Structure 1
Amino acid sequence: MSLMIWKLSTDSEIYKKVLDEQMDILRKREEGAEDRLTWAEIQKMKYTWRVAQELMRIIPPVFGSFRKALKDTEYGGYDIPKGWQVYCVSHGTHMNKEIFEKPTEFDPSRFENPSKPIPPYAYIPFGGGLHTCVGNEFARVEVLTTIHNLVTMFEWSQVFPDEIITRQPMPYPSMGLPIKIRPRKL
C-alpha cells in the first residue's frame, strides 16, 4: 500500500492514469446508487491493478523464500541433495530480461496483454503453487479499494520527494513516507 502511495507521489503520468480510471468509475456510477464501491467497480480497476503488479515485480513484497529439496536434483550444473534448503530470490526472475522485456523500466502495460506469456513461477510476489499466499485476492481488493478512496477524495505530496525504498526486511520507505494530504477539490 505504501509503495503505491510512494509511486503515485513520484510519477505524475502514472498518477494521472490511475486518477482518470478511478474518476471514470465515479462518473459512470448510476444516479442514486450507493456511495460505496461495488464488486463490479473493483473489477474495472484494470490499470490501477497493473500498476500494483508492476510495483510488486520491481520491488517484491517478499525478497524470496526457502524451499526444501524433496529429492536429489540438479539445477544449472549444481547438485542439490535431498533435504537441502534452497533459497529462491524473486528478483532472479522478476528482473530477468529473457522473461520481462526491459525489466528495469516501470511498465504496467506488460501485464495487460504480454507479447509472450509469463512462464509459471516467473512472477511470484505472492509465491506460487501450493505455497501461494492465501491472502493474495484480499490484498488486491484492499489495495484497489484504498487507492480508489485515496485518489478520488484526497491529493497528497511527499514531505521528502527523494525518499528511497529500503528493506527491513520487507520493502519500506526509508523515512516512513510522511505525506502532506488535503481534500480533493471537485
Structure 2
Amino acid sequence: MRKVMEERRKSPVKKGDFMEQVIKDMGVEPLYLTEDQVIYFTAGVWVATFVTNSIILSLIFKFLSDHPSVLEELRVEHEDILKSRDGSGSNLTWDEYRSSMKLTNYVINEALRFSALFPGLLRKALSDIPVNGYTIPAGCCMLIVTPVLHMNPEIYKDPFTFNPWRWKELDALTVSKYFKPFGGGARQCPGADISRAFLAVFIHVLVTKFRWTKVKGGTLVRNPLLGFRDGVHVKIWEKPQTNKTN
C-alpha cells in the first residue's frame, strides 16, 4: 500500500477516488494525517466495508443453497411483502424492513453467528479483573475469542448446524451476553445497524428477483480470518417476471 501511495503521488493522472482524497488530507488541518495513519486507515476501511460484507454474503449464499427449506420460507416471506403493496410497485420501505422480515432477521443472525470474521477482540485490562478464581493483572492485553463464544453448545444447541429458527427461543439477555458479531461496549462497530439493513435489502432483492444454484465450493476455514478454502461458486439468473409487482 505504501508503494501504491508513492506511485499515486508521482502520477499526473487524477482519479478522484478515496486514495487521492486521503493523500490530499495528509498534513492538512484539522487531521494532520501521517503516511502511516493513511495506510492503517485505508486498510481498516477496506476490511470494514469489503471483506466483512463479502464473506457474510457468501455465507448466506452457501447456507441458503444447502438448506432449501429455509430458502423457500424466505421466498414466501418476501413475496408476501410484495403482495401486500396491492400492485403499487413501490420500493422496499423502512416499515417493511422493521415489521415484515422475522425469518430474514433470524437468517442474518445465524449467518452473523458463524461469521465472527476475526479471531477475537483485543482489549487492555485497566485494572485487576477477577475471573473464576484467577486474576487478570492490570496492564495485560486480553484476546476475547468471539468465535468460541458463538459456538458455545450450552447456549446454541448443535452450534455447528445452521438453524435460523433457534433465534425464536433465545431471550434478549442471553443474546446480549453471548452474541457479539459487531463487538461490544463503547467500541462496538458503528456500522452494525446499517450492515443489518444492507443484508436484509440484499436478501429481499435476491429471493424476489433472482434464482441460483451452487456449483461448487463452500468449505469454511479460519486462517486466522474466516473465509472459504475454494470460494463459493454459484450460477445465478434473473427470475422470470410475471407482472410489474413481482
Give the structure 2 partner of residue 181 of structure 1.
Answer: 236
Asked if the contact 2:150/2:179 (under 8 Å) is kept, the reply is: yes
Deviations 1:37-92 (A, max 9, x none): 11111121110111110122233233311111010122233321111111011133
- Structure-to-structure mapping, 1:44-83, within 5 angstroms: 44-83=100-139
Q: Which has the higher helix share?
A: 2
Asked if the contact 1:62/1:170 (under 8 Å) is kept, the reply is: yes
1:12 CA drift (Å): 0.7
Give the structure 1 partner of residue 87 of structure 2.
Answer: 31
The answer to whether the aligner puts 1:163 opposite 2:218 as a matched pair is: yes
Query: Which range moved further: 139-148 or 89-98?
Result: 89-98
Give the structure 2 partner of residue 14 of structure 1.
Answer: 70
| Alignment-mate amino acid for residue 192 of structure 2 | N
Rate the CA distance shift 1:33–1:12 in 2: closer, same or farther, 3 A: closer
Asked if the contact 1:121/1:128 (under 8 Å) is kept, the reply is: no
1:116 CA drift (Å): 8.2
Give the structure 2 partner of residue 123 of structure 1.
Answer: 179
1:33 CA drift (Å): 4.3
| Alignment-mate amino acid for residue 19 of structure 1 | R
Q: Which runs of 5+ in 2 are unaligned?
A: 1-56, 242-246
| Alignment-mate amino acid for residue 185 of structure 1 | P
Q: Distance in 2 between matches of 1:88 and 1:28?
A: 45
Q: Distance in 2 between matches of 1:29 and 1:154?
A: 20
Give the structure 2 partner of residue 41 of structure 1.
Answer: 96
- Structure-to-structure mapping, 1:141-156, within 5 angstroms: 141-156=197-212
1:115 CA drift (Å): 6.2
TM-score under structure 1 normalisation? 0.88
1:147 CA drift (Å): 1.1
Runs of 4+ in structure 1 displaced over 6 angstroms? none
Q: Distance in 2 between matches of 1:115 and 1:121?
A: 10
Which structure is higher in RCO with an 8 Å CA cutoff and minimum separation 6?
1
TM-score under structure 2 normalisation? 0.68
Give the structure 1 partner of residue 52 of structure 2.
Answer: none
| Alignment-mate amino acid for residue 170 of structure 1 | L
The answer to whether the aligner puts 1:134 opposite 2:200 as a matched pair is: no
Aligned residues: 184
Asked if the contact 1:62/1:125 (under 8 Å) is kept, the reply is: no
Give the structure 1 partner of residue 54 of structure 2.
Answer: none
Give the structure 1 partner of residue 40 of structure 2.
Answer: none
1:157 CA drift (Å): 1.1
Q: Distance in 2 between matches of 1:104 and 1:173?
A: 16
Deviations 1:21-40 (A, max 9, x none): 11111111133242x21111
Asked if the contact 2:221/2:227 (under 8 Å) is kept, the reply is: yes
